[in-house]
C-alpha cells in the first residue's frame, strides 16, 4: 500500500513521534510511506527509516490560511504521480487539506485525533474527519463521539505504540553510564520530557518541588523540552528560589538517551490525549507519576503501574513524588508492571498492525 501521512511540521513532539514510529512500522511491513509536512528537527530521522519527506510550507495554525491552498496543487500532483492509495491526516490544518485533496483525487482520507478540541463553529460546519478516525485513547474516542457527534462505528481506538527496541538497553549499567555523561551522580532526579506549553502543567510541577526538597534536599528537577512557556517557567523557578534545584535541557531526538537517569518521571498535564513520553518512560523502566486526566489513566492504574494525582494540584503531586522516592522497592515494582503492560498493549508492532487493518477497511471502499 502507498500511504501519505500529513502533519504541519516535524519538530520534536507527540505527533512527530507518532509519525516517526508509524512510518517506521509501516515501512517494516513493506508499505511505501510519504510524509508531507514542513521542515523540522526530526526530518533526518524520518529519512533514515526509508520514508520519503515531501516538504510543504503548511506550518500554520489556521485551517483557512492561504498557504494551505497554495500547497494543495503540488500535493494533488504528488498523489496522482506516486499513485497514493490513502491519505492520513494528523492535525486540523492537514485534515482540511486532505479533505480537499481527497475530493480532487478520489483517494480515501482518514485522520488521527491526538487530543481534545473545542467544538468551534467552523469545525462543526466543516468537520473534515475523513472516512474514519483513529482515537489514541478511550478519553479521546468518547470526546469525538460526545462532542463532535461522530458515529461510534467510524471511530477506531488504536493507542499509540512505541519501538520497544529503543529502550532495550535501559538498565542499571546504562543508567550509571548516562549519569556520568550528564554529570548527574549523587542525587535523586525528578524528570519530565514535554513541550513547554501551558497544557502540560509544568508550573504545577515546579510549585510541587519545595515540598519534595523539604524531604529530599539533594533532589533535582530536570525539565527537558522547548516551547512558548520556557521564559515563564525559568522566571517561576527564580521567583521560588529553585535555581540550583531545577535544570532546563533542550529537546533531544531520542528520549532513550536521557530517560534512564531519572528516578521518577512526572507528567502533570492539565489535558492529555494519551501520553507518549509517559509510555516511553514506562518502557525504560522508570516509575511514573501523572495527572489523572485524559488518556493517562489508560497507561496508569494508580498504585499498580504508577501513581495518579489530581490535575493542577501541586500539593497532591508533591506527595506522590515523595511516595516514589521514599519507597524505591514499591516504585520499582510499579515500574516493572508498567513495562510489562507497555510491551503487551502499546508496542509499535501492535499499533502498526491495527492501523494497517484500519487502512484496509477504508481503502477498499
Spatial separation of the C-alpha atoms in residues 117 and 123, rounded to whole Å: 10
Buried b (16+ CB within 10 A) or exposed e, 156-192: bebbbbbbbebbeebeeebbeebbeeeebeeebbbbb
Spatial separation of the C-alpha atoms in residues 216 and 294, rounded to whole Å: 30
C-alpha angle with apex 42: 16 to 293, nearest 5 degrees? 30
pLDDT at 252: 83
pLDDT at 364: 64
CB 41 within 8 A of CB 71: no
Tell whether pTM > 0.75: yes
CB 160 within 8 A of CB 276: yes
Q: How far is CA 207 from the centre of its chain?
A: 24
Please report, in tens digits, the pLDDT of each residue of the chain (365 residues total): 999 999 999 888 889 999 999 999 999 999 999 999 998 888 888 888 889 999 998 988 888 889 989 999 999 999 999 999 999 999 999 999 999 999 999 999 999 999 998 877 777 778 899 999 999 999 999 999 999 999 999 999 999 999 898 888 777 788 888 888 887 878 999 999 999 999 999 999 999 999 999 999 999 999 999 999 999 999 999 999 999 999 999 988 788 899 999 999 999 999 999 999 999 999 999 999 999 999 999 999 999 999 999 999 999 999 999 999 999 999 999 999 999 999 999 999 999 999 999 999 988 65
CA dihedral 154, 159, 163, 165 (to 10 degrees): -130
pLDDT at 42: 85
pLDDT at 49: 83
pLDDT at 104: 96
pLDDT at 22: 96
Each as own residue / partner, the long-range contacts of residues 63-72 (CB below 8 Å, 24 or more positions apart, any chain) are 63/92, 63/93, 63/95, 63/96, 63/122, 63/126, 63/128, 64/96, 64/122, 65/93, 68/93, 68/96, 68/97, 68/100, 71/97, 72/97, 72/100, 72/101, 72/104
Domains of the chain: 2-161+347-363 (3.40.50.2000), 164-345 (3.40.50.2000)
Cell of 355: 492501523
Amino acid at each position: 500500500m502507498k500511504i501519505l501521512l500529513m502533519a504541519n511540521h516535524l519538530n520534536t513532539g507527540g505527533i512527530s513521534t507518532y509519525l516517526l514510529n508509524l512510518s517506521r512500522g509501516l515501512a517494516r511491513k513493506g508499505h511505501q510511506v510519504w510524509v508531507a509536512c514542513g521542515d523540522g528537527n526530526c526530518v533526518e530521522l524520518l529519512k533514515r527509516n526509508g520514508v520519503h519527506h515531501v516538504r510543504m510550507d503548511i506550518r500554520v495554525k489556521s485551517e483557512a490560511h492561504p498557504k494551505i491552498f497554495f500547497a494543495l496543487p503540488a500535493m494533488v500532483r504528488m498523489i496522482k504521480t506516486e499513485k497514493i492509495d490513502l491519505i492520513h491526516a494528523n492535525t486540523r490544518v492537514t485534515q482540511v487539506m486532505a479533505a480537499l485533496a481527497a475530493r480532487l483525487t478520489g483517494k480515501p482520507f482518514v485522520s488521527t485525533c491526538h487530543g481534545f478540541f473545542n467544538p468551534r463553529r467552523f469545525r462543526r460546519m466543516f468537520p473534515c474527519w475523513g472516512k474514519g478516525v483513529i482515537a489514541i485513547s478511550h478519553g479521546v474516542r468518547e470526546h469525538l463521539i460526545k462532542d463532535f457527534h461522530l458515529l461510534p462505528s467510524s471511530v477506531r481506538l488504536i493507542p499509540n505504540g512505541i519501538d520497544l527496541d529503543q529502550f532495550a538497553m535501559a538498565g542499571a549499567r546504562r543508567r550509571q553510564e548516562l549519569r556520568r555523561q550528564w554529570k548527574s551522580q549523587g542525587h535523586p532526579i525528578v524528570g519530565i520530557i514535554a513541550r513547554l506549553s501551558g497544557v502540560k502543567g509544568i508550573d504545577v510541577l515546579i510549585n510541587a518541588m519545595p515540598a519534595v526538597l523539604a524531604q529530599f534536599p539533594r533532589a533535582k528537577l530536570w525539565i527537558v523540552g522547548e516551547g512558548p512557556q520556557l521564559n515563564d517557567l525559568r522566571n517561576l523557578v527564580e521567583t521560588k528560589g529553585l535555581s540550583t534545584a531545577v535544570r532546563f535541557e533542550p529537546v533531544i531526538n531520542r528520549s532513550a538517551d536521557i530517560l534512564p537517569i531519572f528516578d521518577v518521571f512526572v507528567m502533570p498535564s492539565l489535558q492529555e490525549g494519551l501520553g507518549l513520553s509517559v509510555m516511553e518512560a514506562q518502557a525504560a523502566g522508570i516509575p511514573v507519576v501523572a495527572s489523572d486526566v485524559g488518556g493517562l489513566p489508560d497507561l496508569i492504574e494508580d498504585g499498580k503501574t504508577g501513581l495518579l494525582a489530581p490535575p493542577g494540584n501541586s500539593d497532591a503531586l508533591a506527595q506522590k513524588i515523595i511516595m516514589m522516592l521514599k519507597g524505591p522497592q514499591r516504585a520499582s515494582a510499579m515500574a516493572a508492571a508498567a513495562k510489562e503492560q507497555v510491551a503487551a498493549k502499546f508496542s509499535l508492532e501492535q499499533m502498526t498492525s491495527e492501523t494497517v487493518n484500519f487502512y484496509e477497511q477504508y481503502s477498499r471502499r
